[in-house]
Amino acid sequence: MTTHYLNVIDVEATCWQGKQPKDQTSEIIEIGLCVIDLTTLERVDKHSVLVRPEHSTVSEFCTRLTTLTQDQVDGGVGFAAACEWLRREQDSTGRVWASWGAYDRKQFESQCAATGVEYPFGPHHINAKAEFSDSLGTTQRFGMAGALRLRQIPLEGTHHRGGDDAWNIAALIIDMIRRGVRFDHP
């Protein structure tokens, strides 16, 4: 396991206001990644990979939330190629990875199971949302934007865009590490 770096992942997926249409499946349409150097506590890499959905379309609600349009994601890579990029270019099976909550991990697990694509991560996932609450000694769960406000860290970029959210989550993780939370192990 490579512990010098931590991959922070945030995904955006097709979504709808109200009930999900019966003929649609929620699919990842953007994978945001920020790499933290655990030695220097710096964010050293940031990516946003658009992923072309195969069993859903981008709703107006989804576009309002994420700013992503159907035309944009139609130009993205396939899900299998995105997972291969994570494995090959980001050592995703060797590095510990973190996300804000369990949604991102569950979305990957579900989509990989449904499509037969190999899961792109190793077994070591950290739920940064739970770690944040634990670090404050509370059971209250905070959204990413609320956690940033609480810690007086500015939100950079566009909220609900994968690359920007991963970047902001990484800032929260660095803040937690400086306060004594360990993120270099499962």
Domain membership flag for residue 183: no
User: What SS3 class is residue 149?
Assistant: helix
CB 155 within 8 A of CB 168: yes
Find the mean pLDDT for residues 14-28: 96
CATH number at residue 143: 3.30.420.10
Find the mean pLDDT for residues 105-133: 97
CB 16 within 8 A of CB 178: no
- Domain count across the chain: 1
Domain that holds residue 173: 2-178
Reported for 104-112, long-range contacts at CB under 8 A and 24+ positions apart, including other chains, are 104/9, 104/10, 104/11, 107/11, 107/13, 107/26, 107/28, 108/11, 108/28, 111/27, 111/28, 111/79, 112/83
Domain membership flag for residue 185: no
pLDDT value at residue 1? 47
Beta-bridge partner residues of 170:
none
Neighbours of 150 (CB within 10 A): 12
**Rounded Cα gap, residues 45 and 25, in angstroms:** 31
Domain membership flag for residue 122: yes
**Rounded Cα gap, residues 172 and 169, in angstroms:** 5
- pTM of the predicted protein model: 0.96
Domain membership flag for residue 47: yes
Find the mean pLDDT for residues 110-135: 97
Domain membership flag for residue 151: yes
**Rounded Cα gap, residues 46 and 83, in angstroms:** 16
pLDDT digits (tens, 9 = 90+) for 63-93: 999 999 999 999 999 999 999 999 999 999 9
